[in-house]
Amino acid sequence: MSIPKEMHYSDRVGWLRAAVLGANDGIVSTASLIIGMATAGATLAGVLTAGAAGAVAGAMSMAAGEYVSVSSQKDTEHADLARERRELAANYEFETRELAEIYEARGLSSPLAQEVAEKLMHHDALAAHARDELGFSDVSEARPLQAAIASALTFLAGAALPLIAALGASRQSLAVVVALGSLVALGLLGVLSARVGGSRISVAVVRIIVWGVLAMGATAGVGWLFGVSSA
């Protein structure tokens, strides 16, 4: 009878990080931009135009940033694997002993560690060293395109929320409505990310809301300062 594969929260870490980062940035940056423009005295049309432009620009920036950074990680992984492949070809016995020492450090006896190392080297030497020496795994594998798409789409989804709130607000209540709506959205995002990632909900919600308040407060101050200065 085959044993069913267990699902772990760490299996989701690659796309979850990009998705939460994208949605959080979409909400915070777009809401902050709208609030900053509103406190500066911009018209409702100007605020909405700036918010929409910021949403598109932010999504493209997130996609580009994720793709470049994760591609750099992938290039480093490939370089390490190429180096390990050369070392295996040049000194197979040394690499076997190196692997055995890793298993000894984890608690295996010396004879058992040597036996395990030899069997794994025979099965797939490069995979064994990639996993146990370099720390690479399928869970942490760099996927640039996946990260870029997840970040861009979730940024746009997050950015849509303060824009929708702005559409339903009057000019006088714009900043307050957008701020409150965005904080609610951030709280829900914290709950969702905690549930999906298996972490404590209260911690996730508090930290995401605190940073959102700081960002919106800072841009409101900038908008008020420049609005007063230009009056």
Residue range 10-62, pLDDT digits in tens: 444 555 666 777 889 999 999 999 999 999 988 889 999 999 999 999 999 98
Residue 66: half-sphere exposure toward Cβ, Cα within 13 Å:
29
- Is the model's pLDDT at 141 over the cut of 60? yes
Q: Is the dihedral of CA 76, 79, 81, 87 positive or negative?
A: negative
pTM here is: 0.70
- Is the model's pLDDT at 8 over the cut of 80? no
Query: Using DSSP, how many helices (H) and how many strands (E) does the chain show?
Result: 7, 0
Q: Comparing 128 with 230, which gets the higher pLDDT?
A: 128
Instruction: Compute and round to an integer the Cα radius of gyration of the chain.
Output: 25
- Is the model's pLDDT at 87 over the cut of 60? yes
Q: What is the pLDDT of residue 231?
A: 41
Please state, rounded to an integer, the average pLDDT across all residues of the chain.
84
- Is the model's pLDDT at 229 over the cut of 50? no
Q: What is the pLDDT of residue 17?
A: 67
Q: State what percent of residues in the chain have pLDDT above 70.
A: 87
In the chain, the largest separation of any two C-alpha atoms, in whole Å, equals 81
Q: What is the pLDDT of residue 77?
A: 84
- Is the model's pLDDT at 225 over the cut of 90? no
Over residues 185-209, the pLDDT tens digits come to: 999 988 887 887 677 888 889 999 9
